[in-house]
């Protein structure tokens, strides 16, 4: 058997792109959950399934990094992108789980719009990943993500203000405020983590320009 000095080439960009596809799929499902609460159970099951797939892929990327000598970009950058995407998927799963457990009768507009923005941000990170592979600039995508993040901050303020101004007539009103505060908190964390992913991608793109 011939001896090979270098290990086989691992297609890390393909693995990271597949991981980003999972992120986008999870964000799309969250948007569906908060837009139409009628199929929340089925949608949450799908989120859980793709989160499990994402978790396996995250471990696979980590394993391949430990076994590969030559990588298309610095291995620590692959590791950072891998973890940022995995964290983003996990945050989205957390939101969908709470939405199902809390059994809301209706979804508040700020939450619905923030979910749509989160989905759009995830799509932009996918475009950034493609730019990284093609060695292209990402300025436009970064600007769009920052704009969506800024809108989410305004929506969050509006949503929390609505909760503070809500008329409480029974104990259920109190619990609803607590539940919605937690949901808004989790959505905010997910938005921030996807923005973190964009920051990592921008930094890596600039490093490899």
- Does residue 73 sit in helix, strand or coil? coil
Residue 127, in any domain of the structure: yes
Residue 47, in any domain of the structure: yes
Per-residue pLDDT of the chain (209 residues), as tens digits, is: 443 444 445 699 999 999 999 999 999 999 999 987 677 888 899 999 999 999 999 999 999 998 888 889 999 999 999 999 999 999 999 999 998 888 887 889 999 999 999 999 999 999 999 999 999 999 999 999 999 999 999 999 999 999 998 777 787 778 999 999 999 999 999 999 999 999 999 999 999 98
Q: What is the pLDDT of residue 2?
A: 42
Q: What is the pLDDT of residue 10?
A: 62
CATH code of 108's domain? 1.20.58.220
Q: What is the pLDDT of residue 4?
A: 42
Q: What is the pLDDT of residue 5?
A: 41
Residue 3, in any domain of the structure: no
| Domain count along the chain | 1
Domain range for 101: 12-208
Which of 54, 55, 64, 74 lies closest to 10 in space, CA to CA?
64
Residue 6, in any domain of the structure: no
Residue 125, in any domain of the structure: yes
Backbone torsions φ then ψ of 73, nearest 5 degrees: -135, 170
Distance of CA 135 to CAs 138, 196, 202, Å? 9, 20, 11
As a whole number of angstroms, the distance between CA 79 and CA 64 comes to 11
What is the Cβ-side half-sphere exposure of residue 62, based on CA atoms within 13 angstroms? 12
Residue 100, in any domain of the structure: yes
Residue 114, in any domain of the structure: yes
Residue 2, in any domain of the structure: no
Q: What is the pLDDT of residue 206?
A: 96
As a whole number of angstroms, the distance between CA 30 and CA 155 comes to 17
Helices 12-35 and 109-134 pack at an angle, to 10 degrees, of 170
| DSSP tag of 137 | -
């Amino acid at each position: 058997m011939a001896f090979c000095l270098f290990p086989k080439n691992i297609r890390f960009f393909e693995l990271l792109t597949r991981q980003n596809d999972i992120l986008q799929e999870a964000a799309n499902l969250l948007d569906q959950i908060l837009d139409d609460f009628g199929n929340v159970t089925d949608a949450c099951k799908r989120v859980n399934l793709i989160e499990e797939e994402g978790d396996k892929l995250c471990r696979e990327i980590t394993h391949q990094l430990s076994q590969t000598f030559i990588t298309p970009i610095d291995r620590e950058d692959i590791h950072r992108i891998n973890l940022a995407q995995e964290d983003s998927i996990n945050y989205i799963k957390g939101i969908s789980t709470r939405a199902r457990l809390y059994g809301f009768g209706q979804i508040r507009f700020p939450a619905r719009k923030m979910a749509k923005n989160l989905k759009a941000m995830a799509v932009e990170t996918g475009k950034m990943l493609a730019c990284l592979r093609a060695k292209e600039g990402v300025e436009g995508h970064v600007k769009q993500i920052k704009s969506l993040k800024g809108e989410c901050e305004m929506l969050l303020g509006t949503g929390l203000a609505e909760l503070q101004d809500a008329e409480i007539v029974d104990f259920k009103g109190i619990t609803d405020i607590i539940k919605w505060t937690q949901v808004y908190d989790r959505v905010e964390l997910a938005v921030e983590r996807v923005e973190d992913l964009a920051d990592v991608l921008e930094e890596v793109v600039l490093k490899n320009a």
